[in-house]
Amino acid sequence: MRIPRDLGGNELAAALCRTWGYVIVHQTGSHIILDTEQPSHQRMAIPNHRALRIGTLNNILRAVSQHKSVSREKILATL
């Protein structure tokens, strides 16, 4: 599946919260801080930009897929 080129930070954070069990803890400057407890503790920062860079989005997707033990394609399908 192709990575979306126009996905914003708010949209990504909302999708991760809605589907993958993340919770928005707070926002520091232009970064949204997400936290999850399942299967273990993970905290990540997502830039609150209109369109995320491809490398940044790819790194966030890779971290979520490793933590949740699912494929990147499965995460992309929920965006």
Q: What is the pLDDT of residues 11-70, one digit of tens each?
A: 999 999 999 999 999 998 999 999 998 888 999 999 999 999 999 999 999 999 999 999
CATH number of 9-77: 3.30.160
Res. 1 pLDDT band, cuts 50 70 90:
confident
What is the DSSP secondary-structure string of 3-34? PPSS--HHHHHHHHHHHH--EEEEEETTEEEE
pTM over 0.85: yes
Q: Where are the domains of the chain?
A: 9-77
- CA distances to 3, 11, 43, 60 from 55, in Å: 10, 17, 19, 9
